[in-house]
């Protein structure tokens, strides 16, 4: 006998709130976080989306084990892609609910304020920031170094941009899904400060509210934040200052190039000081500087596509080839500009810019090719 078809009524299965949790090596925090969300969101239809950067500790398996028993728990496994911002964007764009929240997996954000944040959205706010720095907020669990980095980044962003929240560096926020849908094409998938990117991209018309909370100490695992986060942050500010014309990755690539110039000059000076010829010194300096640029770019600029093990050898050789061709373009353009203007510094800048752009574009295409 055929069973009658059950048709869900509109709204029966659609969550009111989707919570996005970016993860990397957070296996031990998955179950406690789900339990806390269930307790905090009692009476609210919700789903949680764990977006995992292919953690080697089995984080995604822990999520799927819970999801097999609880349909509100979903998993996205990212292979060949890394970075908190990109994970947050993918998670938010996959959300079912009209309202999306982002919360860390490390149990340092206070999930009990989520209903208050949702109430602010329902009252008319488009973006609600969980803040550590407004009245009622607390950030004493921060280490002295992380506190200093957070304060510096907050002050710097407010100095150069109009920021209408006390905590633009917060990783704990909620927004209407249509806001992220509109902003997503212009957001960077690099770095850690996704909220700041959303604030700068969405413009001054977005309605913002704040809910203070107390930042707690991490329970399990290790913090992913390091000094590279600050470099990523500076890259984001420079990218936004250019109106998005310059990507964060290109900014970092350029900064590494500037450091490489100092390495080049230092090596040249050492060889000449040791009695070597200029040709020998220039050759050695070029090889050392290119090697330096490759290693630092691999560690910093392309940290999400980092080459490891024996893959670094062909990567380095390709980088040598790319930079060699870039040097030819640099000299050619510089010579032409000098012939036309007779200004050596203009010619030098023009050649360097062309060389940098060439090296960046070809490195991106042939050395650090994305697996995505």
Structure-token match 């996959």, residue found: 94
Enumerate residues 6+ apart whose C-beta is below 8 A from 81: 53, 189, 304, 370, 371, 372
Q: In this predicted model, which residue has the larger pLDDT, 348 or 134?
A: 134
Average pLDDT taken over every residue of the chain = 83
Q: Each residue of 99-123: pLDDT tens digit?
A: 999 999 989 999 999 999 999 999 9
CA–CA gap between residue 358 and residue 250 (Å, rounded): 11
Tell me what pLDDT residue 133 has. 85
- Average pLDDT (266-272) is 85
Res. 7 pLDDT band, cuts 50 70 90: very low
Strands 208-212 and 127-131: parallel
247 pLDDT band (50/70/90 cuts)? confident
- Label residue 263 by pLDDT band (50, 70, 90): confident
Per-residue pLDDT, averaged over 39-51, amounts to: 96
For the segment 21-31, what is each residue's pLDDT rounded down to a tens digit? 999 999 999 99
- Note the pLDDT of residue 189: 77
Helix, strand, coil percentages (3-state) for the chain, rounded to 5, are: 55, 10, 35
Q: What is the pLDDT of residue 149?
A: 67
Q: What's the pLDDT tens digit per position in 296-317?
A: 999 888 877 888 899 999 999 9
Across 315-344, b (16+ Cβ under 10 Å) vs e yields bbebbbebbeebbeebeebbeebbeeeeee
Q: In which band, very low, low, confident or very high, does the pLDDT at 222 lie, cut at 50, 70 and 90?
A: low
pLDDT of the residue at 92? 97
Whole-model pTM: value is: 0.72
Rounded to whole angstroms, how far apart are CA atoms 340 and 321?
Answer: 29
Question: Is the per-residue pLDDT at 289 higher than 90?
Answer: no
CA distance 74 to 275: 65
What's the burial of 245, exposed, middle or buried (CB within 10 Å: 0-12/13-18/19+)?
A: exposed
| Token pair in block for residue 173 | 């926020």
The SS3 of residue 287 is helix
The whole-number pLDDT of residue 136 equals 79
Q: Where are the alpha helices (DSSP H) in the chain?
A: 27-40, 59-67, 84-93, 114-122, 144-160, 177-183, 194-202, 227-241, 248-273, 278-296, 312-341, 344-362
At 244 the pLDDT is 66
What is the spatial distance between Cα 93 and Cα 89, in angstroms, rounded to a whole number?
Answer: 6
pLDDT above 60 (res 221)? no
Residue 169: pLDDT above 50? Answer: yes
CB 114 within 8 A of CB 174: yes
**More confident of the two residues 361 and 347:** 361
The pLDDT assigned to 217 comes to: 66
Q: What is the pLDDT of residues 310-336, one digit of tens each?
A: 999 999 999 999 988 887 777 777 778
- Going from N- to C-terminal start, the domains of the chain cover 17-226, 248-367
Asked if the model's pLDDT at residue 145 lies above 70, the reply is no
Average pLDDT over residues 199-205: 85
> How high is the pLDDT of residue 126?
97
Q: In a 10 Å sphere around its CB, with 0-12 CB exposed, 13-18 middle and 19+ buried, how is residue 249 labelled?
A: buried
The pLDDT of residue 101 is 97
pLDDT band with cut points at 50, 70 and 90 for residue 43: very high
Q: What is the structure's pLDDT at 129? A: 95
Per-residue pLDDT band at 80 (split at 50, 70, 90) = confident
CA-CA distance, 33 to 39, in Å (whole number)?
10
Inform me whether the pLDDT recorded for 227 exceeds 70. no
Looking at domain 17-226, which of 3.90.550.10, 3.30.160.70, 3.50.50.60, 3.30.499.10 is its CATH number? 3.90.550.10
């Amino acid at each position: 006998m055929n069973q009658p078809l059950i048709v869900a009524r509109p709204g029966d299965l659609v969550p009111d709130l989707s919570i996005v949790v970016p993860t990397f090596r957070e296996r031990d925090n998955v179950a406690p976080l789900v339990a806390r969300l269930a307790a905090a969101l009692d009476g609210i239809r919700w789903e949680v989306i764990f977006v995992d950067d292919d953690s080697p500790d089995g984080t995604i398996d822990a999520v799927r084990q819970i999801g097999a028993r609880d349909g509100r728990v979903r998993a996205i496994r990212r292979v060949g892609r890394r970075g908190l911002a990109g994970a947050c964007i993918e998670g938010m764009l996959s959300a079912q609910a009209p309202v999306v929240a982002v919360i860390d997996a490390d149990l340092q954000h206070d999930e009990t304020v989520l209903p208050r944040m949702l109430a602010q959205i329902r009252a008319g706010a488009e973006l609600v920031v969980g803040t550590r720095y407004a009245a009622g907020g607390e950030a004493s669990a921060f280490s002295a170094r992380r506190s200093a980095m957070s304060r510096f980044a907050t002050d710097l962003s407010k100095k150069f941009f109009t920021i209408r929240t006390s905590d633009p560096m917060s990783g704990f926020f909620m927004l209407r899904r249509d806001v992220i849908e509109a902003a997503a094409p212009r957001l960077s998938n690099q770095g850690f400060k996704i909220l700041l990117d959303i604030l700068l991209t969405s413009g001054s018309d977005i309605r913002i509210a704040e809910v203070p909370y107390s930042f707690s100490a991490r329970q399990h695992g290790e913090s992913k934040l390091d000094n590279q986060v600050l470099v990523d942050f500076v890259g984001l500010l420079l990218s936004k200052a250019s109106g998005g014309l310059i990507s964060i990755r290109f900014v970092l690539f350029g900064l590494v190039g500037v450091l490489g110039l100092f390495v080049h000059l230092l090596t040249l000076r050492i060889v000449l000081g040791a009695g070597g010829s200029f040709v020998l010194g220039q050759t050695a300096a070029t090889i050392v500087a290119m090697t330096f640029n490759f290693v630092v770019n691999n560690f910093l600029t392309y940290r999400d596509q980092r080459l490891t093990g024996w893959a670094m050898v062909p990567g380095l050789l390709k980088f040598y080839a790319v930079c060699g061709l870039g040097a030819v373009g640099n000299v050619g353009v510089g010579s032409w500009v000098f012939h036309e203007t007779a200004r050596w510094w203009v010619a030098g800048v023009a050649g360097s810019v062309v060389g940098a752009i060439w090296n960046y574009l070809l490195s991106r295409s042939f050395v650090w090719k994305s697996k995505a």
